[in-house]
Each structure stands twice: as C-alpha cells, then as structure tokens.
Structure 1
Amino acid sequence: MLREQLFTYSHTFITLDQLESRSSTTSYLEFAKEIQQLENEGIIIRVASAGQNGKEPSLFYKYRIQKGKLRQELHQEIERTRLHLHSALQLDSYFHLSPKEWNEDLPYIEKISQYLQQNGFPEEEAPAPERSLELVGDEKWIQEKGGDKLLEHLQIWDELKIIPVHDPLSFALNPTVINKQHHYHLIVENKTTFDGLLSELIYTPFTTLIYGQGYKITKSIEHFSRQLPLSGHHTIYYFGDIDWEGIKIWHLLSEKIEVIPAIPFYEAALTKQAIPMKKKQNPNQEANKAFFAYLNEKIEAKMLEILKNNQYLPQEVLSSKELREIWRDSDWNTPLSQS
C-alpha cells in the first residue's frame, strides 16, 4: 500500500509524518519495518541532515523518493508477465500507469490471455455482454466495470468484434426521400422539439428526424448505420439547447460522426428572451472552440453574451409553428450559408 502511495506522490522528498499518514500499518513497529524495507530496496533514501525521531527502531524525519527505482520495479514485473501472455496483448500503456492500475487489471489480463490462447480471436461479432461473459465470466464487465478501457489498453478492442449495447436510436423516417442518394438528418436534443417538428418531416428534404435524448445520443448514434443502412451520402445536423451542456453534447457527438450545428434554428432561438440557468454549468473550452467555428461573429457574440451572463435558451423558446417554418424554409443544401 505504501509503495503505491509513493508512486503517485508528486514530490521528491517526503516527511516521516507524511509517510506514516499514508501507511496502513497499525503499530509503530510495523511501520518502522515497512520503512526499513523500503530503504533496503533503495526506494527511499534517508536525509541525514533532517535528524532522527529517537524511537526504537529510530527513523529519520525526511526521506528522498527514488521514483526511477519504483518505476523500474513495475517495468520488470510487466516484462516478466508479458512472457506467458498471448502475443497479441500489448502492455506498453501500463509502463505509464500506476502499479495500482496494473495490479487491478492483471487478473483480467490473464483471463483474456487464457481465452485467446484457447480460442483465438472471434470471427463473428457479438454484443458486449456476451463477449464479456466469454472473456472474464462477467457479462457486465465490458460496459459497466471499465473493461472497455482495459481492452483498449491492450489494443485488441477491434479484434474482439464487440457490439456495444446501448439504447437504440430513436428516429422518424421520411418515406418520400428514401431512395435518394443524398440523405439529410436532423438530431434534436429534446422531446418537445422532436414532437413539434415531426408533422413537418415529409415536407422537408430530410430522411430522418432523430430524437437525441440529451447525452444519450452520444451512445445511441453508434446504431445509426445498423438501423438505417442506406447507401449514398449523409449530412447530419444537430440542434440543442443554447447552454454549455448543449454545446458539450454536440462536441461529444462530433467526435464520433461528422455533425453540423443547425444554424437556422440557433439563429432563430437567439431572437428570444434568455432565461436564468437553473443550475450551474461549466464551459468546455475545446467544445466551445469547435462549435463556434461554425458561427459568424455576430451570432457567436450574442450567444456568448447570454451564456456568460449565466443565462440560456432551451429549444422550447421556439414554438412548434416556428420550428416547422424554419425547417421547411431554410436552405439545407449549403449548411454554412448562414455563417
């Protein structure tokens, strides 16, 4: 335990009191033995000028941590482990992680290695719970217990042909444009907006109207090509609340697919009276930079003025009638024409 504490300690020197506060031992004698063991291994070096505490056995008031020695031990253990694992498992990322992460992941790594040595990589796709049960005997491990990150560390996620299991994508389909080669799609964040636009869908060039359900869209969008296997080109627009969270949702989505802010809707919403935010939201600078790149200076300035005043504009500021008119009358063939 103390060894792991030292690994994550950010300073070079540590006092005896700090060491004792990080130790899990229950007596001074056990603690002293722990410190002496670390000294013998060269992991900590006493600072003689700091003096000793005078107890029996006596310990120094200050020590220097040999971070290189700590990391060297971890590296050696990883290299020893690598020798008996399946050759496809890449352990290099663990050289930069903590011993705690390595020790927590190791039992799963060994189970995965055993599975691959016995079965090889699968030839067919399988839902995440099914593959999770095969690999480690726990159907919830991949999606609910961090197994997905471990598989990415090992660089075998793609080879395992895992189908993430999320809520299906919720959308309405326009049958009048289903045979076209260029498909337009509109994702809206909230249910009220979805309902307000639904009756207008068949009068637009859009193939689908998609209900984003807030942050859920960042997962359900993974089903897009499976639920809507249409050939041709796809242009996807997004319209969310004008607040920091709405921008974050768009940004997370944009990291998975190419998605364009539906500027005519945002521009119309900005003509309405903003309201105070119900709870504190924190801006994400990376998300903001990416989002505002689609806006002209006038729209960006107005939006920032509202958000920096701790106000926002929910999608509901636009009536169903206004939503339908904007959707029907805007030029969606040139997506950046509004900026």
Structure 2
Amino acid sequence: MEIKVEKLINEQKQKTVSLITLEKRLKKRLGDEVSPWFYKELANAILALEEKDIIEPFKNAKTYSRDARIKEKYKKKKALMVDEKTLKQELLTSFHQNISVSYYLKHLEEYHDMKEKVKMISEFLKGCYENMPYLSVNERSYEIFEEEKFLASKEGKKLLANLKLSLETLYCYETYEPFFHIGIARTKNENILIVENKDTYFSIKKLFLENIHSWDNIKFSMIIYGEGNKITRSYEYLDELGVPDVNIYYFGDFDREGIAIYHRLQKISERSVKIVKSFYLRMFNERKNKPAKDQYWNKEAIKNFFKENKFRDEKIMKDYLAAGKYVPQEAVNIEILRRMADGATKTL
C-alpha cells in the first residue's frame, strides 16, 4: 500500500495532498483488490511517508474521518524512490525454499506492501516438521499473522496463490459453515432442493417424511434450509458432506432479494442451479396486496431470472418487482405443496 500511495502522491502536480481525493484515486486504481483493511492500510502508509519526511500535515488540518491517526490534508516535501535492487535481492535470498518469488519479482510494488506477511509465512515454514498437526485455516492464520481471518480472506488467498502455496503447505484445512438438511444425495444426477425460508423448509421436510418428495417430475433426495443469503456462505458444506455433481433447485421468495440470492448461488456453484418453476407460478398466483419493500434492484439478477425462465405473465411479474412488491414463499403453504406433489389425488 505504501508504494502505491507514494506513487499517486508523486504523480500529482499539486503540492497539497487531499486525503479524500487520494482515497478515491487509490480505490479506483485498486479496483476489486480493495481489502477490508483499506483505511487502516492507507493510514499506515501515510504515517510511514510522514516518518520518512516525504509529506507533512498542515497545521490546522482536520482529523481524517476514517482514521484519527492522520489528517485530511498534507503537503509534499520530497519524493522517495523505491530501491528495486534491494527488494529483488531480498526476494532472492531471504525466504524459505518452498516460497515461489517469481510473481513478486515482476510486481515489486505489491511485494513491498506484502513483504511483512511473506516474512511471517517464511518463518512459519522454517519451523515446520514432519507429521506436524493440522489446524483449521482461522487457527493457523491467527498463529502466523495474529489475524484469524486473513488466510481465508480474498487478500490472503491471493497472497498464497502469488507464492504458489496452499493451505496444505501451511498444515491447515478449510472449514465450512454448515446448513440444516434432511436426506442426502450420494450419486450423480440426483436432485437437491434449497429452500430460502424456515417455515417452508419445515413444511417440505414434513412432506418429505411422509414420503412426498417429487414435484414437476423432479424427485428430491435432499432438502436444504438456505436460511436466506446464508446459503451463499454455507453452500460449500455440500463438499464436506461428500455430495457429488448433482442438480440443484432453488425455491425462494418472489422478490428482488430472493432472486438475487438465487443469482449469487448460480455464480458460486459449479453444479447446475435452477428454480422449481411451478412453485414460482403458484406463489405469484397467491400474491396479496402487501406494502412494497425497499430492496436493491440487481439488474443482472432480474434479467437472468427471466431470460432463463419463461413466464406467460412476464411483464406483469417484472412490473410487480419494479414496484417493490413481493410474495413470500410461505404463500405456497404445506397443503398447496401437498396438492402440487406428483401423484397427489387429494388434500389430507
């Protein structure tokens, strides 16, 4: 971070450095690589440049709202050139043999920002031994960095990839957030139904226990309680359960967020994910005149939902969503589900 901040400061012609402007320029340059610790890292970089006499704060400058350690305005004093030769020498001679330095030899700025963490990993590897006990990823992360969530973060995963290391190399394993479910899929091409809300999950679970588990000629061998958006974090628990390449079906609320969850699930899944179309048709038919909800309009999610699933009343359904209206999946209650099941002849 320090090198990037220094470069941006050196690139500008003005002697006055506005932290608000610098923050915007830095975020734009980082793009998707903005870390959860962005403001802390920015403040650390500013303090480092101040200590090196590169910049100094204006006497009457206000405190920066994101970090009280620094000010909103600084003035440039002199430019600092990165000693690339020293950084290359450090990369080539200082680290454990299992660490690949080829990436950082070509990206010295990134290495400068991450070198303390690279050193920590190297020191850990030097202390490893045969049959070393495995820890969970967060436990190992805390041991190495004193930051329990770093290794599992986007930034941590990128660092390991750049060094060509794996969790296995660090003697740790990934953990998965579990979900509630009934049944299990053991063979390929079986079908799993993910249900967004608790009551509907329990209704379908009750039917499942009554040996009612087929709708639209789709026989489900496993029902999962998605727990709203939590399923996007717990989805990989399927791998922990040893579930093979199966067909995933989703049933959620007919609203902007329910469709967005379905879309997120599709993006993270390597398995096929579809909706149970008849559930959505029936749900929409059961709509009431409920007050609108203020939910985010995910344009891509809405577009893909209707592109993949053709509905006769598509325009009416789109307008309904555009107005912020919604139908909870509880509208399709247990008795409706019972009547909709394949082979159903009566309501019990």
Matches of 1:121 and 1:251, distance apart in 2: 44
Tell me the residue number matched to 1:45. none
Does structure 2 conserve the Cα–Cα contact (< 8 Å) formed by 1:244 and 1:282? yes
How many angstroms apart in 2 are the aligned matches of 1:85 and 1:299? 63
Please report how far the alpha carbon of residue 327 of structure 1 lies from its aligned counterpart in structure 2 after TM superposition. Answer: 4.6
The TM-score normalised by the length of structure 1 is 0.67
> What residue number does 2:78 align with?
37
Q: Are 2:184 and 1:170 equivalent residues in the alignment?
A: no
Aligned to 2:119: 110
Matches within 5 A, 1:119-198: 119=128, 126-143=135-152, 147-157=156-166, 159-160=168-169, 162-173=172-183, 182-198=189-205
Q: Aligned partners of 1:212, 1:13: CA distance in 2, in Å?
A: 49
Partner in structure 1 of residue 65 of structure 2: none
8 A contact 2:88–2:105 mirrored in 1 = no
Q: How far does residue 301 in structure 1 lie from its aligned partner after superposition?
A: 3.1
Change (3 A) 1:220 1:36: closer
**Is the contact between residue 78 and residue 91 of structure 1 (CA under 8 Å) also seen in structure 2?**
no
Tell me the alpha carbon deviations over residues 59-94 of structure 1, each in whole angstroms, 9 at most, x when there is no partner.
xxxxxxxxxxx7xx4866653442223453457379
SS at 2:191 equivalent: strand
Change (3 A) 1:314 1:75: farther
In structure 2, the CA distance between the partners of 1:114 and 1:240, relative to structure 1 (3 Å rule), is same
Whether the aligned pair in 1 keeps the contact of 2:180 and 2:225 (CA below 8 Å) is: yes
CA distance in 1, matches of 2:250, 2:99: 40
In the TM superposition, residue 135 of structure 1 has moved relative to its aligned partner by 3.6
Return the match for 1:257 from 270, 284, 287: 270
Question: Contact between 2:120 and 2:144, CA under 8 Å: does it hold in 1?
Answer: yes
> Is there any run of 5+ residues in structure 2 with no aligned partner, and where?
23-54, 61-73, 214-218
Correspondence for 1:16: 15
Inter-CA distance 24–157: structure 2 relative to 1 (3 Å threshold)? farther
* Compared CA separation, residues 247 and 15, structure 1 to 2 (3 A): same
Deviates more, 1:181-190 or 1:157-166: 157-166
Decide which structure has the larger Cα Rg and report it.
1
Secondary structure at the aligned position of 1:207 is classed as strand
Q: Which residue of 2 aligns with 1:25?
A: 57
Confirm or deny: 8 A CA contact 2:260 2:301 kept in the other structure: yes
CA distance in 1, matches of 2:240, 2:19: 56
Report which stretch shifted further, 218-227 or 103-112: 103-112
Change beyond 3 A, Cα 1:105–1:286: farther
Give the aligned partner of residue 224 of structure 1.
238
Counterpart position of 1:284: 298
Number of equivalent positions: 285
2 CA distance for matches of 1:182 and 1:20? Answer: 55
Q: Matches of 1:88 and 1:319 in 2, distance apart? A: 57
Calculate the TM-score normalised by the size of structure 2: 0.65
Partner of 2:70: none
What letter is aligned with 1:127? S
Tell me if the contact between 2:187 and 2:246 (Cα under 8 Å) persists in the aligned partners.
Answer: no
Name the CA shift for 1:323/1:153 in 2 (closer, same or farther; >3 Å): farther
> In terms of mean alpha carbon deviation, does 242-251 or 269-278 score higher?
269-278
Deviations along 1:113-150, one digit per CA (max 9) or x if unpaired, are 22234438999865222332454355444347953454
| CA distance in 1 between partners of 2:83 and 2:253 (Å) | 47
Give the equivalent residue in structure 2 for 1:210: 224
In 1, Cα distance between the equivalents of 2:313 and 2:86?
56
Look up the match of 2:43: none
Task: Please report the RMSD computed on the Cα atoms of aligned residues, expressed in angstroms.
Answer: 4.1
Residue by residue over 1:212-263, the C-alpha shift from the partner in whole angstroms, topping out at 9 and shown as x without a partner, is 0112111212111322x356x5211011122222222222222223221222
Q: Distance in 1 between matches of 2:133 and 2:122?
A: 19
